[in-house]
Chain A
Amino acid sequence: MTKSISERGYTRADVLVSTDWVEEHLKDPKIRIAESNEDPLLYSSNHIPGAVEIDWTRDLNDPVRRDYLGRSAFDKLMRRMGATRETTIVLYGDKNNWWATYAFWVLQLFGHTNAKIMDGGRLKWIKENRPVSREVPKYQASNYQAPERDDIRFRAFRDQTLKHLEQKLPMIDVRSPEEYRGERLHMPDYPNEGALRGGHIPGAVSIPWGRAVNQEDGTFKDAAELRKIYMEENKLRPEDDVIAYCRIGERSSHTWFVLRYLLGFHKVRNYDGSWTEWGNLVNVPVENPSAEARDEAAA
């Protein structure tokens, strides 16, 4: 049986809430619940009563440049949700909260620290037969005013990642082992998330993001189990300067959340350019065990 959140030994247990806690706070005006999914139909099919939707493409990304939304768009999003700087945003979603942690990460770029993740996400809520609704709530617009987006603390760009590599600092590739090994590049015909080269950034260790989650109920593993994966098996230390990446920065925001909040790592950044940038860059180092093995066999 999964331990309660407070018993799991996390550095910041306060950033996780249980499904029980959320059900008790459904009508709490200081709380705004937000669902963020990969599946575009899920929120509209039903959601936690009173929950708003944060759509990862339309709400969190700049529609023109490859970048996140700017300050005024973030203000607009939070105002639409009726949230103030004091409102606690509780995020949940499909895929074991993959997209919820992505939204959480974007909230942190704007310094909205009053944010939490519902442990177990949408699937746990549904499996527990908790109440759902199809009604899209409307909240009185707030006058939310965010500070400028801070890309320094939690975000890594291409040049910083290259420097990180040159300094041999720790990096985590959170994609599937097949992607890490360069066996699976991207799907044919898919235009938006492809890369010209397969493999991984040299020196990056492979720790697929889903290892942090209990598969049976989608909750986060306890701190001892997480330490075993990240610290014992992969020799990472909380004082390390760590960069995590995946394909477009969504799965790595999940790992960023685990390292920063659940294990208390001091400096973790998400390289959101990730493999769709690195795998298309000219003249950057790439390690591709599958291609190297093929070349050796052919030689």
Chain B
Amino acid sequence: MKPLPKRLEDFLSTLENLDRSERIEMLIEVADQFRPVPSRIAQRPYAAEHRVPGCESEAYVWSEASGEGALTFHFAVENPQGISAMALAEILRQSLSNAPLEEVAAVPADVVYRIFGNELSMGKSLGLMGMVNMIRSEARQHLQAAGSTP
């Protein structure tokens, strides 16, 4: 099993030392930092192939090659009430952009429970895990195109 990308593991370690209300506070602070995809990458209406399946917060994901064998990730969250989706988007953007793609491709989707706790409803989990799966898929496709198998 591949290790998690270091910045993600560091973030999770910080989060896991907080009590529930501190964790929620921290996640809201992260969500406040969220900025949607820059217009040079995509503009509304966003293409359907970038939409996260099953995400009711209408999240979209893009990747951009950023140097040798690395990707920068971008997100849009169209539902203004999609606070958890915005928090996750910002966590993934900050911790997985430019991380080793083999590690990004191996991030388990259920990492969302380590971030948000086990109390997530099925509907909410479906959307958030879908965001992680889209990132994994982007990393995998990039690796395959480059000729290495994740």
A residues contacting B by CB (< 8 A) are 38-42, 44-45, 55-58, 94-95, 122-123, 126, 186-187, 189-190, 192-193, 247-248, 250
Contacts A39-B81, A40-B24 given; does A190 touch B31 at CB 8 Å: no
**A39 proximity list for chain B (CB < 8 A):** 81-84, 124
Determine, out of B37-45, B66-74, B112-120, B136-144, the stretch whose residues face the partner at the interface: B112-120
Chain B 73-116 near chain A by CB (<8 Å), digits 1 or 0: 00000001111100100000000000000000000011000001
Of A40, A56, A94, A247, the residue contacting B122 (CB under 8 A) is A247
Among A57, A187, A248, the one with the most B-chain Cβ atoms within 10 Å of its Cβ is A187
In chain B, residues 12-54, which have Cβ atoms closer than 8 Å to a Cβ of chain A?
Answer: 21, 24-25, 27-28, 31, 54
Of A42, A187, A190, A248, the residue contacting B81 (CB under 8 A) is A42
Measured CA separation A234–B80 after assembly (Å): 35
Verify B31–A187 contact, CB threshold 8 A.
no
Q: Does B8 lie at the interface of the complex (its beta carbon under 8 Å from any beta carbon of A)? A: no
- 13 example contacts (A-B, Cβ-Cβ < 8 A) are as follows A38-B121, A38-B124, A40-B119, A41-B83, A42-B81, A42-B83, A44-B28, A45-B31, A95-B56, A122-B81, A187-B126, A187-B129, A248-B122
Measured CA separation A250–B27 after assembly (Å): 26
**A56 proximity list for chain B (CB < 8 A):** 121
B residues contacting A by CB (< 8 A) are 21, 24-25, 27-28, 31, 54, 56, 80-84, 87, 109-110, 116-126, 129
**A44 proximity list for chain B (CB < 8 A):** 21, 24-25, 28
Measured CA separation A42–B56 after assembly (Å): 14
Shortest distance from the beta carbon of A129 to any chain B beta carbon, whole Å: 12
- Nearest-CB residue, chain B, relative to A251: B123
Contacts A186-B122, A187-B125 given; does A126 touch B24 at CB 8 Å: no
Of B25, B117, B123, B129, the residue contacting A189 (CB under 8 A) is B129
**B28 proximity list for chain A (CB < 8 A):** 41, 44-45
Verify A38–B123 contact, CB threshold 8 A.
yes
Verify B123–A40 contact, CB threshold 8 A.
no
Verify A192–B83 contact, CB threshold 8 A.
no
**A40 proximity list for chain B (CB < 8 A):** 24, 84, 116-117, 119-120, 124
- Nearest-CB residue, chain A, relative to B54: A187
Verify A58–B122 contact, CB threshold 8 A.
no
Shortest distance from the beta carbon of B124 to any chain A beta carbon, whole Å: 6
Measured CA separation A57–B124 after assembly (Å): 13
Measured CA separation A95–B122 after assembly (Å): 14
**A95 proximity list for chain B (CB < 8 A):** 56, 123
Verify A41–B81 contact, CB threshold 8 A.
no
Measured CA separation A126–B84 after assembly (Å): 17
Verify B27–A41 contact, CB threshold 8 A.
yes
Measured CA separation A247–B122 after assembly (Å): 10
Shortest distance from the beta carbon of A101 to any chain B beta carbon, whole Å: 15
Of B27, B81, B109, B125, the residue contacting A94 (CB under 8 A) is B81
Of B84, B119, B122, the residue contacting A190 (CB under 8 A) is B122
Q: What are the 3 tightest A-B residue pairs by CB atom distance, in nearest-first order?
A: A193-B122, A57-B119, A41-B83
Verify A41–B122 contact, CB threshold 8 A.
no
Contacts A40-B120, A44-B24 given; does A190 touch B126 at CB 8 Å: yes
Among A45, A192, A247, the one with the most B-chain Cβ atoms within 10 Å of its Cβ is A45
Of A38, A41, A123, the residue contacting B31 (CB under 8 A) is A41
Among B56, B81, B87, B120, the one with the most A-chain Cβ atoms within 10 Å of its Cβ is B81
**A190 proximity list for chain B (CB < 8 A):** 122, 125-126, 129
- Nearest-CB residue, chain B, relative to A61: B119
- Nearest-CB residue, chain A, relative to B28: A45
Shortest distance from the beta carbon of B18 to any chain A beta carbon, whole Å: 13
Measured CA separation A42–B31 after assembly (Å): 11
- Nearest-CB residue, chain B, relative to A99: B121
Beyond known contacts A41-B84, A95-B123, A189-B109: 17 more, CB 8 A cutoff:
A40-B119, A41-B28, A42-B81, A44-B21, A44-B25, A44-B28, A45-B28, A45-B83, A57-B119, A95-B56, A190-B122, A190-B129, A192-B118, A192-B122, A193-B121, A248-B122, A250-B121
